[in-house]
Chain A
Amino acid sequence: MSVSDSSDRTACSPAAQAVPEYIATERVVRNMEGAIGVFRWAALAWVILHALSWQLSGEGFRRPTLVIAAVTGVTAWTLWLTTAKAPLRGKVLLFDAMLGAALNLVSGLTVQPGKLGIATSTLALSYPYSAVLAAGTALGPLAGSLAGGVMAASYWVAHLVNGAPLTEALMSRLLAGSAGYLFAGLMFGTVSSLLRRSSEEVRAATAEAIAAREKAARLSERESMARQIHDSVLQVLALIHKRGTQLAESQTPDRAKVAELAEMAKDQEAALRGLIMREPEDAPVGEASLRSALEEVAAGIKAVDVSVSTVGPVWLPRGLVDELVDAVREALANVIKHSGATKAAIFADEQDGMLQLSVRDDGAGFVFDEAKFRQEGKFGMLNSMGGRVDAMGGSMKIDSRLGSGTEVEFQVPLQPGK
C-alpha cells in the first residue's frame, strides 16, 4: 500500500507538538490513500483476469506481445508502488498518470479494430482511474481534474487509434468516460484538500488552546502568590501598628523589638516589590525568566544584601534556568561562608547566543591557592560550581583581589533559536 506521509507537515511551534499526533481528519486522508491502493490492486487483478479470459475464450487481442508487455509493466509498477511505499508526490504521480494514459492507448492498439469499448472489449478497464484518484488525493482538486483530463484525452485518442466509427452511441460512451475521469479526480481532490485544511485548523486551534491553558495556569499561580503576599503584608502592617503603638506608649521601649519590627517590614517590602516587578504573563512556552528566578533567590537570602540586575527578563528554557539558579546559589553560599561580605550583586545578560551571569561581592577577596583551599575545604564548592557550568557547556571565571571583593562569572552558550 502506498501511503503518503502526512506527518512531514511540520509543526512550527512547540505547543503544536503537544497536540495529539492523530487527528480524525488526517486519519481519513490516510484511509483514502490506503483505499486507492486497494482499488489499484483490484483493478489490476481485473485487467489480468479479463485479458486472460478474453484472449482464451473471446476474440483475442491484436499484437499479443504488446498486451503482455503492457500488463507486465503495469504489474511491476503497482508492485513497486506498494512494496517501496513510495510517497505519492511529484514525479511518481506524473509517471502514474503517463502509465494510465499509455494503458488506454495500448487498449486502442490491441483490441480488434472498431471494437473498443463495445461489450467490455478493452484492456485498460478501470486501472487508469487509480492515477486520477491518487493525483487528486495527494495534490487537490486542480491536480485531480488535470489527471482526469489527461486520462480522458488518452481515452479519446485510444478510440481514434482503434478506428471505431463515430456513432452516437460511441460519442455518449466517450463523453461518459471522460466525465467519469474528470469527476473522480475533482471529487477526490476536493474532499482530501478539505480534510487536510480542516486538520490544520484543528491543529492550530488545539495549539492555541494549550497555550491559553498554560497562560491561565500561570496567571492563577501568580494570583495565588499575590494573595499570599498581600496577606502577609497586611499581617505585618497590623503587627507594626499594634506593637508600634505599644512600644510608643511604654516607658522603656525595647530596642530589640523595634529592630524586629523594622526587619519584618523590610521583608514584606521586598516581597511586595518582587510581586510588582514580576514578569508579564506572556512567557514563551517552556521557558522561564532568569531574572524572576534570581530575584526569588535573592529575596530568600538574609545573610547578605543581594541585588539582581539583568538586561531584560532573560527568557531561557526552564531546565537551564534551574541549573543556573543552582550555580548561583552555590556562589552565594560561598560568599556567605568565606568572604565576610555585606552585599552581593547578581548580573545577567544574554547577547549573541551567549549568557553572561556574574555574582560579585564586597568581601575580603582571596588568592587562589589550591593546596590551602583543599585544606580549608573550600575546593569542593569551586569544583562543583565549575562542574555545573561545565555540564551546561559553559565556562567559569573567577576574578578576585585581596580587599576588593570577588566576581564569579559564568559564560554559557545558548542554543540558537532557542
Chain B
Amino acid sequence: MSFRFPFNRANDAAMSEPIRVMVVDDHPVWRDGIRADLERGGNATVVAEAADGGEAITKARETMPDVVLMDLQLPTVKGAEATRRIVEDSPHAKVLILSASGEETDVMEAVKAGACGYLLKSTKTADVVDAVRRVSQGESVFSPSLAGMVLQEFRRMASRDPAEPSLTARENEVLVLVAKGYTYREIAEKLFLSIKTVQNHVQNILAKLQLHKRYELMRYAIQRGLDKTPD
C-alpha cells in the first residue's frame, strides 16, 4: 500500500446528489478544463462560473454552490477578499483555493479568510476531484506545504502576542505529521487516534487560524473606536 498526501481515494462514499461547484478563474481555457474534469470524474456539476472576484461574490449569493473553486489572482476583488465575502454571505459554501504559484502570503490570507484548503493548479485532476469531494463533506484539504505555512503562522502569532489562540501540543503534533507528508490514516495509526479525531484536530487548527483573523479585525475596530455604538 502506498501512501498519498491527504487525498484519500480509498473512502469512496457515493453521494446521491452531485456536488454543486462554482469555478472562479480569469482564464476561460482553465475554467473549461476544470469543468470537464469535474463533470467527467466526480459526481459534480458546475453551476456557475466567474471571471473575477466581484462576479464570484454575486454569483455565489445567487446560485448557492456547495464548493467554490477559486483562483487567487483575480481582477477587481482579489481571491482572499472574495473568499472572505463569500464565506460571510454563504457560510455553507466551502471555498477551495487553486493557486498557480502557491505564494505564501496569499495562501495564508485566503485560509485565514475562511478557505478550506488550497491546491496548486498543477495538481493532478484526480486529486482535484477528490479534494472537491472531501471539502464538500466538511473536511479541509491540507497539503504538507500548507501545514508548514500554518505552523509558521502560529509561531509568528505567538511571538507577537501570547494572548492569541495557540496550538495545543496534540494539534502541533498532528500538524507536523501533515507537514511531513503523512495521510490522515497514517497519522491516526501513529498517534493511536481515530481518523475522525485527526480530522477534528485539523478543523480546530483552521478555526483557530480564522479566529485570529477575527481578533485582528476586532482589534482594528476597537482601535478606531468603531465598536462604540452611537448613544
Binding site for B on A (CB under 8 A): 266, 269, 273, 276-277, 307-312, 341-345, 347, 349, 358, 360, 362-363, 403-405, 407
In the bound assembly, the distance between CA atoms of A363 and B122 in angstroms comes to 23
**7 CB-based A-B contacts, threshold 8 Å:** A277-B101, A309-B179, A309-B180, A312-B155, A342-B2, A343-B5, A347-B180
Contact flag A309-B5 (CB < 8 Å), given A276-B103, A347-B176, A347-B180: no
In the bound assembly, the distance between CA atoms of A403 and B103 in angstroms comes to 34
User: Would A405 and B179 count as touching, CB distance under 8 A?
Assistant: no
Q: Nearest Cβ in chain A — how far from B229, in angstroms?
A: 41
User: Would A341 and B151 count as touching, CB distance under 8 A?
Assistant: no
Residues on B with beta carbons closer than 8 Å to the beta carbon of A310: 148
Q: Nearest Cβ in chain B — how far from A262, in angstroms?
A: 11
Q: Nearest Cβ in chain B — how far from A396, in angstroms?
A: 15
User: Would A312 and B147 count as touching, CB distance under 8 A?
Assistant: no
In the bound assembly, the distance between CA atoms of A277 and B176 in angstroms comes to 21
Number of interface residues of B (CB under 8 A): 27
The verdict on B145 contacting chain A, using a C-beta distance below 8 Å, is yes
Residues on B with beta carbons closer than 8 Å to the beta carbon of A342: 2
The verdict on B227 contacting chain A, using a C-beta distance below 8 Å, is no
- A269, A276, A311, A404: which contacts B151 (Cβ < 8 A)? A311
The 3 closest A-B CB pairs, nearest first, are A345-B181, A309-B148, A362-B3
**Mask for B19-47, Cβ within 8 A of A = 1, else 0?**
00000000000000000000000000000
Residues on A with beta carbons closer than 8 Å to the beta carbon of B176: 347, 349
User: Would A347 and B2 count as touching, CB distance under 8 A?
Assistant: no
User: Would A362 and B4 count as touching, CB distance under 8 A?
Assistant: yes
* Nearest CB in chain A to that of B121: its residue: A269
Binding site for A on B (CB under 8 A): 1-5, 100-104, 120, 122, 143-145, 147-148, 151-152, 155, 176, 179-182, 186, 189
Known: A309-B148, A347-B180, A405-B2. 16 other contacts (CB 8 A): A273-B100, A273-B101, A277-B101, A309-B145, A309-B147, A311-B151, A311-B152, A311-B155, A312-B155, A343-B3, A343-B4, A345-B181, A349-B148, A358-B180, A404-B186, A405-B186
Contact flag A266-B102 (CB < 8 Å), given A311-B152, A362-B3: no
* Nearest CB in chain B to that of A351: its residue: B155
In the bound assembly, the distance between CA atoms of A358 and B179 in angstroms comes to 10
User: Would A345 and B155 count as touching, CB distance under 8 A?
Assistant: no
User: Would A345 and B2 count as touching, CB distance under 8 A?
Assistant: no
* Nearest CB in chain A to that of B1: its residue: A403
- A266, A273, A307, A403: which contacts B181 (Cβ < 8 A)? A307
Greatest chain B CB density within 10 A among A266, A277, A347, A349 is at A347
Q: Nearest Cβ in chain A — how far from B106, in angstroms?
A: 10
In the bound assembly, the distance between CA atoms of A273 and B123 in angstroms comes to 14
Residues on B with beta carbons closer than 8 Å to the beta carbon of A311: 148, 151-152, 155, 179
User: Would B144 and A347 count as touching, CB distance under 8 A?
Assistant: yes
Residues on A with beta carbons closer than 8 Å to the beta carbon of B143: 307, 309
User: Would A345 and B180 count as touching, CB distance under 8 A?
Assistant: yes
Residues on A with beta carbons closer than 8 Å to the beta carbon of B3: 343, 362, 404-405
Residues on B with beta carbons closer than 8 Å to the beta carbon of A358: 180
* Nearest CB in chain B to that of A342: its residue: B2
Residues on B with beta carbons closer than 8 Å to the beta carbon of A347: 144, 148, 176, 179-181
Residues on A with beta carbons closer than 8 Å to the beta carbon of B102: 273, 277
Contact flag A349-B151 (CB < 8 Å), given A276-B101, A362-B3: yes
In the bound assembly, the distance between CA atoms of A407 and B144 in angstroms comes to 14
Q: Nearest Cβ in chain A — how far from B3, in angstroms?
A: 4
- A273, A312, A341: which contacts B152 (Cβ < 8 A)? A312
In the bound assembly, the distance between CA atoms of A310 and B104 in angstroms comes to 12
User: Would A345 and B101 count as touching, CB distance under 8 A?
Assistant: no
In the bound assembly, the distance between CA atoms of A403 and B151 in angstroms comes to 29
- B122, B145, B182: which contacts A269 (Cβ < 8 A)? B122
User: Would B2 and A363 count as touching, CB distance under 8 A?
Assistant: yes
Contact flag A309-B152 (CB < 8 Å), given A277-B102, A403-B1: no
Q: Nearest Cβ in chain A — how far from B206, in angstroms?
A: 17
Residues on B with beta carbons closer than 8 Å to the beta carbon of A349: 148, 151, 176, 179
Residues on B with beta carbons closer than 8 Å to the beta carbon of A341: 2
Residues on B with beta carbons closer than 8 Å to the beta carbon of A269: 122
Greatest chain B CB density within 10 A among A311, A312, A360 is at A311
Q: Nearest Cβ in chain B — how far from A402, in angstroms?
A: 10
In the bound assembly, the distance between CA atoms of A274 and B180 in angstroms comes to 20
Residues on A with beta carbons closer than 8 Å to the beta carbon of B151: 311, 349
In the bound assembly, the distance between CA atoms of A122 and B222 in angstroms comes to 80
In the bound assembly, the distance between CA atoms of A312 and B151 in angstroms comes to 9
Residues on A with beta carbons closer than 8 Å to the beta carbon of B181: 307, 309, 343-345, 347, 360, 362
User: Would A277 and B4 count as touching, CB distance under 8 A?
Assistant: no
